Structure formats: C-alpha cells, structure tokens
Amino acid sequence: MKRSVLFTFFIGYTVCLFAQVPIKVLDAKTLKPLVGANVYIDRKDGIAVTDSNGVFSISDNIDLTENDTIVVSFVGYVSQHFTLSGIRKRSTILLFEKVESLEEVSVFGRMDMNLRLPYVELASLPKRLYSFASIIEGDSIYVIGGDESQVSIFRSTNIMSPRAKPNIIQEQCSDKLYIYDISSDRWITSKCIFKKRAYQAVVSYENRFYVLGGKYYSTNRKIEFLDPAIEIYDRERDTIVIDPVNPHQAINFASFLYDGNIIVM
C-alpha cells in the first residue's frame, strides 16, 4: 500500500516538473523565435503565449489528459497539433509558413473604347465667371458672385508707336446669384444683390446659404480688400441678411459644416 501511494506521488511530481519545462517556438526556415504564438487545447481553452524569446511553459495547475490535443499556432503559419505525451518529448517546436495559392482571375473588356470622353453640352452661365462660390442643393446649382475680370485689347496701326496702348485688365466682381435648374437645363438670375466679391465660400445650413470670405476691388480697381462680412441667404424668402463680423478673412480657404458649426481653415 505504501509503495502504491509513493509511486502515484512520484508520477504526479514528474508530470508537474515536466509541465514547467520551457518549450521554444521557432520559424522553421529562419529559426528565429515567434513572439506571441498561441498555445491552446483543441477545445479552445488557452494555455500559454510565447514570450519575447519565443518560449512558453505549461502551468501545472492546468487540467490536461492524454485525450487532449494541444495546438501551437501563429498568424501566417501552419498550426502544429500534439498529444500530451507528444509535446512532453519536445524542447523546440518548428512552425512552417502557410502558403496560400490564389485562384486565377481573368479580366475581359466588353465595352468599346471611346477616343474621347462623351459629354453633353448644357446651358452656359449668363455671364463669364471664375472663382465663384457654388453649391448644389436639391436639383439646383447655385452660383454666387465670382470674378468677371477681362482683358481689353487695344490695337494700334503701329505697334512701335509711342501712342500704342497696352492690354488693360478690367477687374470686376459679380454681385449676382445664378440658379441652374438641372432638370430643365435652364439658368435663373435671382433678384437678390450680393456684395461684389470673388474667391469666397458658401456653406448650406437649415435652408440658408452662408457666404463668407473672398475679396473685392476698390472703386478705382487698384486695391484689393478681404471681405469681412458674412451674407446669409434665405432660400425660401429670397432675402439676404448680413453679419458684419467674420474672424477668418481669407480667399480660397476650406470650409464645411460640422455638428451645427461652420468650420473654416
């Protein structure tokens, strides 16, 4: 009876000692340690994770039987499966990289290529403009203000004559609101008169357009000024209210609406 108890104690002590023996997990090709490899039982119970040296050990308080399959896995590698008696014989486990073959993909073009991109010519703006504020709301495009400067060419019979006049740039900003109806391909000019400015921005919020920033020219067209005012256009009433204070006086800036606030930068 004493021998039986002693033998059973010795077996349990041996298993306990083995359980603490470190096992190293390496890349089979480079023999470098795999850090963070998972060790678990096939019933998905986690046992251990390899440390910075690729080493793990099985704690002696984990209930293991010979019927359990111990799995060692690492992302991108083929997992290794061991029985309890099989992993006891290991001091090093090699994992091989997983090679996945992709199926062949064939791409065929079924459309005839066009030499030029097809397009449809739409109704032109009532006036030549650039650097205007524009926004799409519903089925309409709104164009506010803009630069309508143009170059006037004065010809002379003798270009070398001291009386010959050079080209003159006539600088001018628009104060109009043009509304383009997409469905009918038609432009409408609003009766509202905005401030003459260009390079401004427009943001839509609760059926109102907030026009801010940009620049305008002095009366003699020789000086440019940054516009400090914010024009608030009510679409339903077709009216404009002016807020005289805009802390961000600039041109060609970024602007957008976020959480009920107009962000300019």
Average pLDDT over every residue of 68-86: 91
pLDDT value at residue 8: 44
pLDDT value at residue 64: 82
100-125 burial, b for 16+ CB within 10 Å, e for fewer?
A: eeeeeeeeeeeeeeeeeeeeeeeeee
DSSP assignment letter at 216: E
Q: What CATH homologous superfamily does 23-97 map to?
A: Carboxypeptidase-like, regulatory domain (2.60.40.1120)
CATH number 2.120.10.80 is the correct assignment for the domain at 133-155+166-264: yes
DSSP per-residue string spanning 48-93: EE--TTSEE---TTS---TT-EEEEE-TTB--EEEEHHHHHT-SEE
pLDDT value at residue 152: 56
Per-domain residue ranges of the chain: 23-97, 133-155+166-264
Check: CB of residue 239 under 8 Å from CB of residue 232. Answer: no
- Per-residue pLDDT tens over the stretch 127-184: 999 999 999 999 999 999 999 887 655 554 555 556 655 555 667 899 999 999 999 9
Maximum Cα interatomic distance, the chain, rounded to a whole number of Å = 133
pLDDT value at residue 99: 86
Average pLDDT over every residue of 77-96: 91
Which pTM does this prediction carry?
Answer: 0.53
Kindly give, in sequence order, each residue whose CB lies less than 8 Å from that of residue 112, ignoring residues fewer than 6 positions away: none
- Per-residue pLDDT tens over the stretch 197-249: 999 999 999 999 999 999 998 888 788 899 999 999 999 999 999 998 888 89
User: Across the strands, what pairs with 40?
Assistant: 46, 71
CA-based end-to-end distance of the chain = 88
